[in-house]
Structures are given as C-alpha cells and as structure tokens.
C-alpha cells in the first residue's frame, strides 16, 4: 500500500522516552474499585447487581442499555459496597453513577464457558461475543466495537485498519503492547477480519516505534492478509480520518464515516481485547495505561483493573512531586484535565500524566490575532479556526456550523501553533456545549408541544365520548316516552 499525505498537523515534543521500553507491569490490586456506568458512547449501563452482593471476577455488573451502550464486568472478585455517584474522570469533576466494589484479594473468576474456535462461528456471533465482552474503542473514542464491526460488514468494508500510530506525546501503552503481545494482537486482527468478512488488514505504526514495527511484522508474517506499515511521525496521524487519508489518499466526507471509504479503523488494544474475549472468554476488565510526566518519579506502563483510581497508579509510580502543575487523563494534546487524582480509570484511559510547569509552558494571556494563518496551516481538517472562534464569541451558532464545527476533532493543533496564545479549542468546546443545550431545549419544547397536543386530543375524545353518551341516553328515552303515550291512549 502506497502512503499518501494529509494536510496540516504539528510536531510537538514526543517525550515518549520517559516510559518507552518500560515493560508492562500489573498494578497491585486496590482494595476498592470505582466502576462508572458511563464508559462508552451510548446510554449508561444498567446495574444487574445489588449492594452487598458477592461477585466473581468477570461477572456481569451492568447490562447494555441501547444499541450503542456496552456492558460492564467485575474487574476482580469481591462485594458490591455501594451503587451511587462518584467523581467523573472529567475536568468538570461532576459525579457519575458508579458501582463501588470492595475487592477480596482472591481474584476468583466467575464461572467461564468453554469456547469454540472463533473461525467456526458466524460473523454475527463473533460480533455478538465482542459486544457481550464489553469491548469499546481502546483508542479513546469508547464506541462499542461490536457495533462498528456489524455496521462495517453491512457496508461492505474491504480493509481493516489497526491503529498503532499512537501519535500523542508521552503515551506509550500501545507501543509496549505491540512489543510484548504482538502474537495476541495478530490473532485478534484475524478474528476481526472474520467478523467483517474483509480480505485485507493494515497495521499502521509511526516510525518512531521501530521495535513495535518489527514485533508486529514478525507476528503477522504468516498471514498474507495482514500488512504492517511504518508511517511518518506527525500529530495527529493517529486520528481515524487522517490515518485513512495517509493510507488511501481519500478524505472522509464531511459529516460522514470512515467506512464510507471502504475502511474500518480499530485500535491495537481493541484487537488484543477481541483475542482475549474470543479465545479465553475474558471480558474487558483491564487495560494498559501509561503513567508519565515530569512530576512522576518512575514513569511506567501498567496493566490496570478498570475502576482503579489515578491516585493508585501514581502511588505505584513513586507518587507525584511538588512540581506538578497539571494532571491529565490521556495525552497533552487531547487529554482531559482532571480535578484531582481521586478519579477512576475507565475503558478509554490510555494515560495518566502529571506535568510540571516547564512541560506545560508559561500560561500566557491571549493577545489579539496577528493574522499569521498558522492555525489554518496546522488544521488537519482544513478549517478556519480563527473564524470559528469569532463565530463562537459572537454566539453565531448557525454561522459556526456552516463553517464546519462538526468536522473539528479537537486535536489542539491550532492552539499549539498560535503565537497569540488564543485558546481556540476552548471556544469550540463552548460552542458545542451551547449547541447541545440548544438542541436539548428544542427537544424539550417539541416534547412539550407533543404532550399538549396529546392532552388536547384526549380532552376532545372525552368531550366526544360525553356527547355520544348523552345522545345515546336521549335516544334510549324516546322509545319509552312513545310507549307511555300509547298506554295513555
């Protein structure tokens, strides 16, 4: 496959040397795990356990609610301590409905079933089992993997793209996963090809990960359908749309999906999770997380139970120095600022970063735009970031949508190159929040109108029913009156 190019992008300092090559270690099991019911793109999962109930490792805790929801399973054995609210892994610090599990240290698995050869199953059954295992996109999108597999097969996708680019600075969990568990990933790719009924797979890895490229090439050598490609290092090459453009030269249509180009993108961690689910009946209850940053004494790549606190990971890596200026979940470009370390790891968590003031740079006050055009050059989606921000400041919601706000992927490239330090992504986030609030108000108003119309229709039916009943009573009286008159005669 010949490589192409995509517009824009930036080259932030990678800082991957802090954790690259550090073997994956298992985090010691915390005494308490906090499992949010919202760890995926759809509706929150619905609990199927009760407070005080004993559960085994891998046992179902909450079932999917709706087509794009995903189930949750116990990361360890123990007792359900509470079902309530706990701080979300989000800058807002708002609470989320959460299942709290007190672990018993026994790591006792719930009853598992013996599995058939996945290649003897129908594609639909493979996708169903991927969904039942609670697997979502491990690159951070958190969209249920089974839905993507099913929809892509129905759309006739011919190529599966396994995203091993990992272009965010600091984060090395995918790199280390490919170095250490390439065989399992290759098997997961083959299983996903079967689910898609696709003929070709491409494993795309940035060229700053030569060990991962070599490991994956060796693991995939015996399957002619799988090709391993080394990509130039440039952020955000790991974004699905940019990755598709690199591999094919095709741009995903505005408002469209990658499958419109005939390709489906999944993360290497998702392929690994599919292998564990279809070969070993293991639901998604752990993930690999990079703990790094200048304020972390011992950066590491850790295999972590879902629901462990960021504080647990940081403590295992030597704590956090007093120089910590910012705590992030994810990478420094698209990661989520955290209100503190008392937030849980979820399925989409690929990094916990504690950064120093030197790493985040001095907080400069925004100054007027100098019309240099760097934000336009850097935008990988070909948008006009400054114009978008002007529409946001002016609350011109129709105008900002017309300029392509929905195509912005919040990569932060525009802000990274801006010499005036204008917080462009924050304006876009504000606009999205306001548009979402506007849609909610419109939905509320529409629902209110529907209820009023239903109420009016109900009153009208009642009035008609009363009128009809009165007419029937009058009709019933007439024969009786006639009989009486006849008797009098």
* pLDDT tens-digit map of 255-266: 778 888 999 999
The gap from C-alpha 105 to its chain's centroid, in whole angstroms, comes to 30
Q: Is 144 domain-assigned?
A: yes
375 annotated among ligand-binding-site residues: yes
Q: Is 356 domain-assigned?
A: no
- Answer whether 287's CB lies under 8 Å from 136's CB: no
Q: Helices then strands (H, E): number in the chain?
A: 14, 17
For the stretch 354-388, pLDDT in tens is 999 999 876 678 899 999 999 999 999 999 999 99
Q: Is 325 domain-assigned?
A: no
What is the per-residue pLDDT for 440? 85
pTM: 0.89
Spatial distance between the Cα atoms of 95 and 399, rounded to a whole number of angstroms? 34
Residue with tokens 């609670």: 134
Spatial distance between the Cα atoms of 325 and 388, rounded to a whole number of angstroms? 30
Look at the chain and report how many structural domains it folds into.
1
DSSP string covering 171-204, please? --HHHHHHHH-HHHHHHHHHHHHHHHT-SEEEEE
Give the mean pLDDT of 337-352: 95
Q: Give the model's confidence band at 313: pLDDT under 50 very low, under 70 low, under 90 confident, else very high.
A: very high
408 annotated among ligand-binding-site residues: yes
Residue with tokens 């400054």: 386
Largest CA distance in the chain: 116
Q: Is 44 domain-assigned?
A: no
220 annotated among ligand-binding-site residues: no
Average per-residue pLDDT for the chain: 93
For the stretch 168-204, pLDDT in tens is 999 999 999 999 999 999 999 999 999 999 999 999 9
167 annotated among ligand-binding-site residues: no
The CATH number assigned to the domain holding 275 equals: 3.40.50.11540
Answer yes or no: is pLDDT of 479 > 90. no
List the structure tokens of 258: 């990658």
The secondary structure of 421-461, three-state, reads: CCCHHHHHHHHHHHHHHHHHHHHHHHHHHHHHHHHHHHHHH
Q: Is 194 domain-assigned?
A: yes
Q: Is 43 domain-assigned?
A: no
173 annotated among ligand-binding-site residues: no
372 annotated among ligand-binding-site residues: yes
- Answer whether 89's CB lies under 8 Å from 338's CB: yes
Spatial distance between the Cα atoms of 52 and 55, rounded to a whole number of angstroms? 9
Q: Is 146 domain-assigned?
A: yes
Q: Is 448 domain-assigned?
A: no
Q: Give the model's confidence band at 481: pLDDT under 50 very low, under 70 low, under 90 confident, else very high.
A: low
Spatial distance between the Cα atoms of 330 and 352, rounded to a whole number of angstroms? 6
Domain that holds residue 143: 122-289
């Amino acid at each position: 496959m010949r490589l192409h190019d995509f517009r824009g992008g930036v080259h932030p300092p990678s800082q991957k040397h802090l954790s690259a090559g550090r073997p994956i270690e298992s985090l010691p099991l915390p005494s308490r795990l906090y499992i949010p019911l919202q760890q995926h793109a759809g509706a929150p999962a619905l609990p199927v356990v009760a407070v005080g109930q004993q559960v085994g490792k891998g046992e179902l805790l909450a079932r999917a609610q709706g087509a794009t929801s995903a189930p949750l399973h116990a990361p360890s054995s123990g007792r359900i301590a509470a079902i309530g609210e706990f701080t979300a892994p989000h800058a807002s610090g708002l609470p989320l409905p959460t299942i709290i599990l007190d672990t018993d240290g026994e790591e006792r698995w719930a009853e598992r079933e013996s599995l058939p050869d996945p290649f003897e199953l129908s594609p639909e059954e493979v996708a169903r089992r991927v969904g039942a295992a609670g697997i979502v996109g491990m690159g951070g999108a958190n969209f249920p993997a089974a839905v993507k597999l099913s929809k892509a097969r129905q759309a006739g996708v011919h190529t599966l793209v396994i995203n091993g680019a990992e272009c965010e600075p600091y984060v090395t969990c995918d790199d280390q996963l490919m170095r250490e568990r390439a065989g399992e990933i290759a098997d997961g790719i083959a299983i996903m090809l079967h689910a898609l009924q696709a003929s070709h797979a491409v494993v795309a890895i940035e060229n700053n990960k030569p060990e991962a490229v070599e490991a994956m090439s060796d693991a995939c050598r015996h399957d002619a359908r799988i090709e391993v490609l080394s990509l130039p290092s440039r952020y955000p090459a790991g974004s699905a749309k940019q990755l598709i453009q690199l591999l094919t030269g095709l741009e995903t249509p505005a408002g469209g999906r990658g499958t419109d180009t005939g390709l489906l993108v999944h993360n290497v961690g998702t392929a690994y999770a599919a292998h564990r689910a279809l070969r070993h009946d293991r639901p998604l209850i752990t993930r690999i997380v990079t703990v790094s940053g200048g304020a972390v004494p011992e950066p590491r790549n850790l295999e972590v139970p879902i629901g462990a606190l960021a504080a647990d990971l940081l403590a295992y890596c030597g704590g956090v120095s007093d120089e910590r200026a910012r705590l992030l979940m994810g990478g420094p470009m698209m990661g989520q600022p955290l209100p503190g370390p008392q937030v849980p790891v979820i399925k989409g968590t690929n990094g916990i970063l504690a950064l120093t003031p030197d790493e985040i740079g001095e907080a400069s006050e925004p100054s007027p735009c100098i019309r240099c055009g760097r934000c336009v050059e850097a935008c990988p989606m070909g948008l006009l970031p400054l114009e978008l921000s002007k529409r946001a400041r002016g609350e011109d919601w129709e105008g900002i949508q017309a300029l392509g706000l929905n195509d912005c992927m919040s990569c932060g490239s525009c802000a990274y190159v801006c010499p005036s330090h204008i917080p462009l992504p924050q304006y876009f986030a504000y606009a999205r929040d306001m548009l979402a609030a506007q849609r909610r108000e419109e939905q509320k108003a529409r629902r209110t109108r529907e209820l009023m119309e239903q109420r009016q229709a109900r009153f009208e039916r009642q009035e008609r029913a009363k009128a009809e009943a009165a007419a029937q009573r009058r009709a019933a009286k007439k024969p009786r009156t006639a009989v009486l008159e006849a008797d009098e005669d």
